[in-house]
């Protein structure tokens, strides 16, 4: 099932992401451009090309060091982000900063979900019988720079492509049938977002809740219904 997404502009600007979904949950990408959209498109292409080819050869050598604590697929997803970082840095930012992107990348291998990201979105597990549970909760820099209750424009904390090196947050999680992922890019998450009523957890319902709690704050929300396994 494709990612069901909604965005809300509010008073301030938050760019809408480029989205990719491969069949059978092989790869999900949410790439948010801060600067020219071409940098996000380039990021999608590099990650897609490398990671999908690596699925047929999980032992393939890479130009970047691997972590022994991670599986081959997790290491290859990280490598795909490193390659994208290299591409954006060389093409857009070697002489001056012109582009950066936030990236969320995920792949399901059987019951195992593997993820790697730089910056937002926040990743929530939506599982029946449980409250919304954050699996990864990156914040943006607006919280650091804004006075209480007087928020500035959204400002990303981490971006891919700005420097030759890159700080990637990666994790894996064992899924259960009918699990869903909710993705949220927003400066602040209000308490109302965590309502326990499961019928209110669709991206449409949550969009209504978020837009009503602060009409000035922009956001993007996505819902991933994973295929049965």
pLDDT per position in the chain (229 positions), as tens?
578 999 888 788 899 999 999 988 899 999 999 999 999 999 999 999 999 999 887 666 778 888 889 998 999 999 999 999 999 999 999 889 999 999 999 999 999 999 999 999 999 999 988 889 999 989 887 777 666 666 667 889 999 999 999 999 999 999 998 899 999 999 888 888 887 666 667 788 888 888 888 888 899 999 998 866 5
Percent of residues in the chain assigned helix, strand, coil, to nearest 5: 30, 30, 45
Residue 81 maps to which CATH number? Answer: 3.60.40.10
Give exposure, 9-19, as e/b (b: 16+ Cβ within 10 Å). Answer: ebeeebbebbb
The tens digit of pLDDT for each residue in 28-73 reads: 999 999 999 999 999 999 999 999 999 887 666 778 888 889 998 9
Model confidence, pTM: 0.92
Q: Cα dist. 31→10, 17, 117, 177, 200 in Å?
A: 20, 5, 10, 27, 26
Structural domain tally of the chain?
A: 1
Domain of residue 158: give its range. Answer: 4-225
């Amino acid at each position: 099932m494709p990612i069901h997404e909604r965005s809300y502009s509010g008073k301030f600007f938050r760019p809408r992401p480029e989205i990719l979904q491969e069949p059978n949950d092989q790869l999900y990408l949410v790439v948010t451009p801060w600067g020219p959209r071409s940098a996000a498109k380039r990021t999608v292409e590099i990650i897609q090309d490398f990671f999908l080819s690596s699925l047929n050869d999980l032992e393939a050598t890479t130009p970047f060091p691997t972590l022994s604590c991670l599986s081959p697929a997790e290491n290859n997803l990280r490598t795909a982000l490193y390659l994208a970082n290299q591409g954006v840095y060389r093409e857009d930012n070697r002489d001056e900063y012109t582009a950066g992107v936030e990236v969320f990348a995920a792949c399901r291998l059987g019951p195992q979900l593997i993820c790697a990201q730089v910056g937002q979105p926040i990743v929530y597990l939506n599982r029946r019988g449980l409250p919304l549970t954050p699996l990864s909760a990156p914040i943006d820099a607006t919280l650091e720079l804004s006075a209480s209750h007087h928020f500035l424009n959204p400002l990303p904390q981490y971006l891919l492509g700005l420097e030759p090196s890159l700080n990637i947050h990666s994790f894996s999680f064992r899924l259960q049938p009918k699990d869903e992922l909710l993705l949220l890019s927003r400066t602040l998450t209000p308490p109302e977002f965590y309502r326990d009523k499961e019928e209110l957890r669709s991206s449409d319902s949550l969009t209504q809740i978020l837009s009503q709690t602060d009409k000035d704050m922009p956001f993007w929300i996505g819902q991933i219904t994973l295929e049965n396994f």
